[in-house]
Structure 1
Amino acid sequence: MEGIDAVRRNKTAIEAILCADYGLILNKIDEKKLITRREYNNLKSIVGEDVWGYVVALLDKLLNKGDDTCRAFLDLLQTDDDIKCTFPELRNLQMSNTSLLTKPVQASSDDGSGSQPTGLCVIINNETFIYEKKRTGTNKDAESLAEVFSWLGFRVLCCNDQTQEQMQRALNCFAAPEHGDAFVCCILSHGRENAVLGIDGKPFSIKDIIRTFKATTQSTLTGKPKMFLFQACRGREEQQGVLQKYLQTDDHHSLSIPEEADFLVVMSTVEDYVSFRHPIDGSWFIQSLCQQLKEGCPRGDDMMTILQRMNDEVSQKEASSQPGRRKQMPEVRFTLRKGLFLSPK
């Protein structure tokens, strides 16, 4: 029963990884005749499921077909060139009780003052809601984020139109596998004071989202930077500008870390206020962030410098013909213990 046991032991991690390209893995399994043609057609056209549901149904089908099928499936994951190229994270899964597959190549760190990470970037892009207005322009933001983080060497996965339960399930899956030297989560949605909304209108607490990835002795992300970008309103008030009258300028190691260390959380706006988004060009926050990453990363700027420039750029924008009438101020908070540097690959 070694094949069944290996699939069950790695089931959550495999599901999270294969969600990146369900069509590819389904076709590969069909080519190897691990499922019948009827089973292939049924799995290809499940009604009422998102990509997570498709992958779960596929793995359950393979488990039900017995140990030989599971062994063949695991062999396919480890030997097929297309699969290895598309899902490099599979190499870090323990497929047997005695051996650990070779870990994926990761970017090296520098002398300790910072790191040059590569890893996974997850984009949850909620556009069409049941009870809220459609978030026109959000696809532009998702495309910009996918472009810039792919350019920075991240593997990018995009989950569209997620309910609160689907968002929670997705993030729980992504918290499990090895992703490289860093993890980025971008959530583009409607929001309220301390939560983002699923397309079903149910709130998902920002605190709960972040704590899904807190450091544990089992987590592969412990000690690694975890960046969260939230493009969402945090209230209904519109922020106004204030004329500046005065301007001042100011020219040993523990063996453990706090469980909430190494987080970088960037909110599109401060608490209680709306966040502006153009229906065609995307949001001020995401578009400015992507532009500042494109300009600052090749220069070797650290993330805090880049985010400070983004803050300044967004703060200067006007959403009204009357100066100072409708403004926006992003908010950055962090528990990073080292400098964070992202470099184009």
Structure 2
Amino acid sequence: MSATETLKRNKTKLIEVLCGDHTFILNKVLEKELITRRDYNNLKSINKENVEGHVIELVDKIMNKGEKTCQNFLELLQTDDVAETYPDLERIKLQDVLPKPVPATSPCNADMVPEAKRLKKDEVYELNSQPVGLCLIINNENFHSLKERRGTNKDAESLADVFSWLGFKVLMCKDQTRDQMEQTLKLFASLHDEEKQLQLQELDVQEWCGRWLPAPQQPVRHGDAFVCCILSHGSLHKVSGVDSQPLAIKEIRRYFVATEQSPLTGKPKVFLIQACQGDKIQRGVLQKDVEEDSLTSIPEEADFLVAVSTVEDHVSFRHPIDGSWFIQSVCEQLRLHCPSGEDITSILLRVNNMVGQKEGSICVGLKKQAPEVKFTLRKKLILSPRCT
């Protein structure tokens, strides 16, 4: 029996069960990309008097998308987390087209990643170290004269959670001035130096272990990749310290250029920057062609990726409780697509699309945001979940 026919035969019972938590299944089908973000927004905002009406619309939408989507939907219904949420699914005969249940999460063995296996060895950055590398988060929340950045701790925890899942050792420095940020970044760029190691131990560094704890006083070593996340206020091409003094993004990058001594030479260095780049508000238009900047790299500046939450001159949006559009989208897309072996530039393309669909006003198109990604990576960077 086809998946579409299976859904048709069991539609009434299925709707009855899914009404138990209609928002959970709606979020799940979006997460698995069975519906588009536009579908999701429409389904979420439809004017129905009861929960059943919402579920009927969702199931009809799935069935109208064809056999493959119906098959994927049936597989989703058999994943562990969905089965636990809707235990009554067991009494519905959905297994006719499914040989076995599908696990809720993808295997974390990098050898199981299809795309990584298809690529030649010299086309992908090798990530064999344990841990994979360091993830440094500079989280500026409380400023001397600027507004408190409410919601930034949510961003910091989301980043820490996802990058520790990807095998990184995650460290955080909180509320740093411009000079302190510069000192911290230069220290992390020079960890091969014994003197720098001693200076680093003098900083107030926290380590993520499911929650923030004081970092142990022991040497910190780089691995096969480096990630730096800076969460702060900002201005054009700059990020601000808590003293409102600016630090140029290009200067941050220069601290990490390749040298004969640097442990990061030839290794990927990713910078995720959540900060306004001006005070203009982007507005939506029906359609616009976007040209990418062509980057000319020289060897010492190879292997960089810099993703900024918004384009130059414009603001970047942050929810006081849920965190920023950009960082939360990055974390969500990494969770969704790293297990399948998708490379980071492709994932950030998804982030751009996701952020671009968000609305900062009840009036459609009034407040929009577009992140900007530039890179001089020479290979694909594929981050995979690590078994713990």
- Report the TM-score when normalising by structure 1: 0.65
Q: 2:264 is matched with which residue?
A: 221
Contact kept? 1:116, 1:342, Cα under 8 Å = no
TM-superposed CA distance for 1:337, in Å, is: 0.4
Q: Report matched runs for 1:7-46 at 5 Å.
A: none
Secondary structure of 1:228 counterpart: strand
> Do structure 1's residue 271 and structure 2's residue 312 form an aligned pair?
yes
Q: 1:129 is matched with which residue?
A: 143
Q: 2:186 is matched with which residue?
A: 172
Aligned-residue RMSD, C-alpha: 1.9
* CA deviation profile, 1:309-333 (whole Å, cap 9, x unmatched): 0100000000011110000000000
User: Number of paired residues?
Assistant: 230
Q: 1:150 aligns with which of 161, 164, 169?
A: 164
* CA deviation profile, 1:93-119 (whole Å, cap 9, x unmatched): xxxxxxxxxxxxxx9997111125310
TM-superposed CA distance for 1:265, in Å, is: 0.2
Q: 1:282 aligns with which of 306, 314, 323?
A: 323
> Do structure 1's residue 316 and structure 2's residue 326 form an aligned pair?
no
> Do structure 1's residue 236 and structure 2's residue 279 form an aligned pair?
yes
Q: 2:52 is matched with which residue?
A: none
Q: 2:174 aligns with which of 143, 160, 173?
A: 160
Q: 1:114 is matched with which residue?
A: 124
Distance 2:231 2:273 in 1: 6
Q: 1:251 is matched with which residue?
A: none
Secondary structure of 1:208 counterpart: helix
TM-superposed CA distance for 1:217, in Å, is: 1.1
TM-superposed CA distance for 1:245, in Å, is: 8.3
Whichever residue aligns with residue 264 of structure 2, its letter is: L
Secondary structure of 1:265 counterpart: strand
> Do structure 1's residue 296 and structure 2's residue 306 form an aligned pair?
no
Contact kept? 2:125, 2:268, Cα under 8 Å = no
Q: 1:331 is matched with which residue?
A: 372
TM-superposed CA distance for 1:176, in Å, is: 1.3
1:246/1:342 Cα in 2 relative to 1: closer, same or farther (>3 Å)?
closer
Contact kept? 2:272, 2:307, Cα under 8 Å = yes
Q: 1:184 is matched with which residue?
A: 227
> Do structure 1's residue 203 and structure 2's residue 219 form an aligned pair?
no
Secondary structure of 1:185 counterpart: strand
* CA deviation profile, 1:236-291 (whole Å, cap 9, x unmatched): 000000013899xxxxxxxxx61110000000000000000000000000000000
Q: 1:212 aligns with which of 241, 250, 255?
A: 255
- What residue ranges of structure 1 are gaps of 5+ in the alignment? 1-106, 248-256
> Do structure 1's residue 138 and structure 2's residue 152 form an aligned pair?
yes
TM-superposed CA distance for 1:138, in Å, is: 0.2
Contact kept? 1:269, 1:330, Cα under 8 Å = yes
Q: 2:68 is matched with which residue?
A: none
Distance 1:246 1:134 in 2: 36
- Report the TM-score when normalising by structure 2: 0.58
Distance 1:323 1:131 in 2: 33
Distance 2:311 2:136 in 1: 23
Distance 2:263 2:320 in 1: 38
Secondary structure of 1:142 counterpart: helix
Whichever residue aligns with residue 217 of structure 1, its letter is: E
1:148/1:246 Cα in 2 relative to 1: closer, same or farther (>3 Å)?
closer
Q: 1:306 is matched with which residue?
A: 347
Distance 2:321 2:369 in 1: 19
Contact kept? 1:215, 1:260, Cα under 8 Å = yes
Contact kept? 1:123, 1:156, Cα under 8 Å = yes
Q: 2:22 is matched with which residue?
A: none
* CA deviation profile, 1:71-91 (whole Å, cap 9, x unmatched): xxxxxxxxxxxxxxxxxxxxx
- What residue ranges of structure 2 are gaps of 5+ in the alignment? 1-109, 192-220, 291-297
Whichever residue aligns with residue 113 of structure 1, its letter is: E
Contact kept? 1:116, 1:343, Cα under 8 Å = no
Percent sequence identity is 63
Stretches (4+) displaced over 3 A: 107-110
Distance 1:341 1:261 in 2: 17
